[in-house]
Structure formats: structure tokens, C-alpha cells
Structure 1
């Protein structure tokens, strides 16, 4: 095993490397060294139970086709040099059209998620005339980023979602929720955007208070590896309020501006086009990157 590998950063680095390979018709300095190191690191973190969309699929192919992938750095680099830059690039370009279909699927899914979340928000407001929306971003401390795999955030989120669905403790009067998992580099890594929607007729407390409570619960679930950001940031809230764009906190059904802002804030969680570059480059097979609660046909306020 090589040094601890940051899975989130490595998969971003591989994608960026392959974008360069597509753009550049001529070999660049350190090409073989870079490719060798990326392949060896990828071989260490590869899991057949994970999905690698888009350009990452090329590294899965290389992993199975290169004879020296389980050898040392020198042997693998020698094999790549024997194949040559032009042949490697041609190999990638011949397959890139198929790889890029994954990106179109990702964009299509985002549009579908946007429509889904709009309907969900309106359904919630049909049930409750006044709601309280808490928004948090949940992730992991940077010093632990090399230990975190994409499976970890799904496992930790599953525990949190189970607490929400069971209306445990701080989630007693939750009427709805939505989440989206994304991927940043070293500073953000794998992280989750989460909105919790309370029936404000029954839930005392502010969006800031409940956001902080959710973050503390996340830290407990992650054994203090986790951290969170409360979107009820006073400076940011004041800025949004001055522009009449605040979509969290108390939302009144009768206020069309508040409703529009609320829906827009929820669309952000569904990962609309503003944050295209933070899609997952690796995820457990069959898992979704976005989800929401199931609104009961007859909402039970007990």
C-alpha cells in the first residue's frame, strides 16, 4: 500500500489528467510519470463494487489491460512508454464519446431532480401554511480526508436519514427533507447538502438553532471525523434578505417571494447547473446522489 490516498482528490486529478490528454496532441513533460503514479494510486483505491462514471472508466480499462499494473513503478512506466503517447491518446479518444454519455446522463438527472424537488416543495406547502427550513452542509475534517472513502459518507448519511425518518429527538416535527452528495477536492472532499423542513406550527426554535443541532449529531455519527456548515450564517442571511432572496428560515405559504426563494434553495440541493463540476466521480454501485423524504398522503402532526 502506498501512502494514504485521498480518494476524492485522486479521482478529480485523474479526470483533469484525461482532459489534458484529450486536448493535447503532443506529449508533455512528465506525462509517463504522472500517468504511472495516477494508475498506481487508482489501483490501490479501486473497488469493483464502486461505479466510476465518465473518463474514470478509462482507468478501469487500463487497470485490467496493463500487464504491469501490480508491479512496481519502473515496470509500469516502461510498459506505458512502450505503448507510447500517440497510441494511449488514440485509445482514449476512440472511447471518449461513450465515456461522455455518462456526463449527459448526469445533466439529465439533475434536470429531473429539479422538477422533482419543485413538486415536493409545493406539496409540503399544501400541507403546512408555515414551515421552518434549516440548511446545513455536512462533510469531514480536512485532516481526515485521506481516510474517507465515498462509502463512508453514504454509511454515515444512512444513519442520519434513519434518525430523520424515525423522527428521533430533534427531528420530531419534521415534515420533509432533501439531501445531495457531492465531491470536492482536498478541502471539501465528499460532502452532503441537507435541508430539514419542520412544521413551524409545532417546532419552536430557529433555523440557526436546529442547524447547529444537526451538525452536532453529524459529529457524533462520524465519531468526530465530521464537520458542518450552518447555512444560517448571519452575514450571508443579511445579504440574501437585503436582496429579498432568503429561502431558509420561516417560510409562509401566502408569501409568493418566500415560496419562490425556498424552492430555489431546495433546487440547489438537487445539484442544478451552477455546481456541475461537483458531481461524484466515484460512488457505491446503485446508490443515488440525491434524495428526499416521502410526504404522507395525510400528514400526521402528532
Structure 2
């Protein structure tokens, strides 16, 4: 059974193949027989979808009007002219995708500039900072249970704990989070960067593990995490001159620049393929930072 991410990626690929004339009529009908029931099974009213899915919904409604309440197995009976109409609907609506891509890239550029300014100011607040990066995700064997709504719910709990300075989030000077949706193996995930007062905290690896444990608690053990704070990884970064996590000194301009380069990954205009294809609502945020003190 496909999980929500796999269904949305399959729909995106399907629309792209129609748009670029890479699929014949029989393949269109067989794909619709598989994708429509799968999409209906995981669809939640109020979900805000990307443009590929919006186009698919138009196709789905057209198919339903053709079938007149017959089951989707009867799609095989559609005429060539009816499939031509489906193709035309994709071609007519596809400019929405270009508009969405441009809007995404523009927003990411704005986010990147504001994030750079924010991080630069946070790192100037203390003579020493402790930078912690944790990537929050779900293992493949749990992704069938993860929907946009559940991911949004988990993230709201996490953001509330961060804002309240609960447990492993005490003494934060700043933070940034970015919600994304990867391929079949990663699905919904969040990149999280936390900046602590370096005079009060020195154990970045311990904090990273505590944050991961917090995520597992929030998700009721559905979630997992990854981090690069192991001594071996940090040593490699240091040898490469790119160390941007752990202890960061305000007077060390190279370290500061490393962090600024590092956080660009959170807001890259090139990461259109990592965008959320579905959000709990049109108002759901996918990126945020703390407030300057």
C-alpha cells in the first residue's frame, strides 16, 4: 500500500508524463485506475495541495463525469476522444505549475535573505554560541501512517515546546525550522537548527540526542532523527574547514561564515522537489525562526 508521499509523487510524475507526451492512452487509463482510488483513500477535506495534485483533481472529476457512478475498473471503456480531453485538461492547466515554481523560488530567496540576517544577529548576542542541528523524520516502515495533518500536528507540538523553552530547549538564543517532503525514503521531514548560549551549554551531541528523544516522544515513537554531532563527523568538518555546528566563537569570523553558509540549506530556491506537496491547510507554515531578543 502506497503512503501519502508516494501517492503524491506518483501523481506528480503522472501529470508530468502527460504534459510532455511520454505516456500513451492505455497507460493513462491504467494509471488513473490505480491513482484515483489511492488518492481518495488518503484525501482529507481541507488539505491544501500543490498544483500537480490540483490538476489531477480536475482529471478525476472529469473521469467521474464520464463513468456516471460506474467503478474505476470501467475506465478501460473510455473512448480515444475522451482521453484526448483528459490530455487537453492537463495542457491547459499546466501553466499553474510554472507559476507555483516561480512563487516557491521567490519565497525561498526572501526566506534565505531574512534567515541570513537573523542568524548573523543571533550569533552576535553572545561571545560563544552552541549550534545544534537535528533532522527530524519518520522511518520508512512508519510512513504509511504519516499524513500532512499528522506531520503538522507533530510540528505544532514541537514548536510549542521550543517557544516555551521546555527541557532540552532551555537557554535558546535562536532557532530555525523548515518542513519538507522528500522522496520515497524520506517522506515528510523537518530540518531544525538550534542556537544556545554557549556559556551555559557545551554538550552539543547530548542536546542533539535529547532533541531526537523529544521528537520520538511527540510522535509516539513513529518518528526518528539524524544528526552530525558525532565527534568523528565534527572532526571531518573541522579538517575541511567547514565546521558549523557545536561551539562557535563570535570573534572567529570563519566559524561565523561557516554557520551562515550552513543555514542556506534550509532555504534553497533549487529545492522545489523538496517542497510540501500537501499541507494541513492553506495557512500552514513550512518555515520559521525565533524572535531576536
**TM value normalised by structure 1:** 0.89
Q: Secondary structure at the match of 1:187?
A: coil
Q: Secondary structure at the match of 1:145?
A: helix
Structure 1, residues 78-125: CA drift from partner, whole Å, max 9, x if none? Answer: 34x465443222211111112321111111111111011101111202
Partner Cα distance (1:144, 1:69) in 2: 37
Q: Is the 2:15–2:56 Cα contact (8 Å) retained in structure 1? A: no
Q: Secondary structure at the match of 1:55?
A: helix
| Equivalence for 2:8 | 11
Equivalent of residue 136 in structure 1, options 129, 134, 137: 134
Structure 1, residues 229-269: CA drift from partner, whole Å, max 9, x if none? Answer: 01224444333222211211111111111111111222212
Partner Cα distance (2:175, 2:269) in 1: 21
Q: Is the 1:132–1:197 Cα contact (8 Å) retained in structure 2? A: yes
| Equivalence for 2:217 | 220
1:277 aligns with 2:273: yes
Q: How does 1:34-113 map to 2 (within 5 A)?
A: 34-65=31-62, 66-67=64-65, 68=67, 71-79=70-78, 81=79, 83-113=81-111
Q: Is the 1:43–1:63 Cα contact (8 Å) retained in structure 2? A: no
Q: Is the 1:145–1:186 Cα contact (8 Å) retained in structure 2? A: no
Seen in structure 2, the aligned counterparts of structure 1 residues 26 and 53 have a Cα distance that, compared at 3 Å, is closer
Q: Is the 1:54–1:103 Cα contact (8 Å) retained in structure 2? A: no
Partner Cα distance (1:185, 1:125) in 2: 33
- State the aligned residue count: 290
Q: How does 1:113-128 map to 2 (within 5 A)?
A: 113-128=111-126
Equivalent of residue 232 in structure 1, options 216, 229, 233: 229
- CA displacement at 1:54 relative to structure 2: 2.1
Partner Cα distance (1:75, 1:101) in 2: 35
Seen in structure 2, the aligned counterparts of structure 1 residues 73 and 116 have a Cα distance that, compared at 3 Å, is same
Q: Secondary structure at the match of 1:185?
A: coil
Q: Secondary structure at the match of 1:225?
A: coil
| Equivalence for 1:300 | none
Partner Cα distance (1:249, 1:22) in 2: 47
Structure 1, residues 149-196: CA drift from partner, whole Å, max 9, x if none? Answer: 011111111111111111111111111111111112331110111011
Q: Secondary structure at the match of 2:14?
A: helix
Q: Is the 1:9–1:186 Cα contact (8 Å) retained in structure 2? A: yes
Structure 1, residues 111-141: CA drift from partner, whole Å, max 9, x if none? Answer: 1110111011112022112111110111112
Partner Cα distance (1:236, 1:77) in 2: 55
Equivalent of residue 152 in structure 1, options 150, 153, 169: 150
- CA displacement at 1:70 relative to structure 2: 6.3
Q: RMSD in angstroms over aligned alpha carbons?
A: 2.0
Higher helix share: 2
Partner Cα distance (2:162, 2:168) in 1: 8
| Equivalence for 2:169 | 171
Partner Cα distance (2:214, 2:186) in 1: 19
Q: Is the 1:27–1:85 Cα contact (8 Å) retained in structure 2? A: no
Partner Cα distance (2:271, 2:233) in 1: 19
- CA displacement at 1:17 relative to structure 2: 1.3
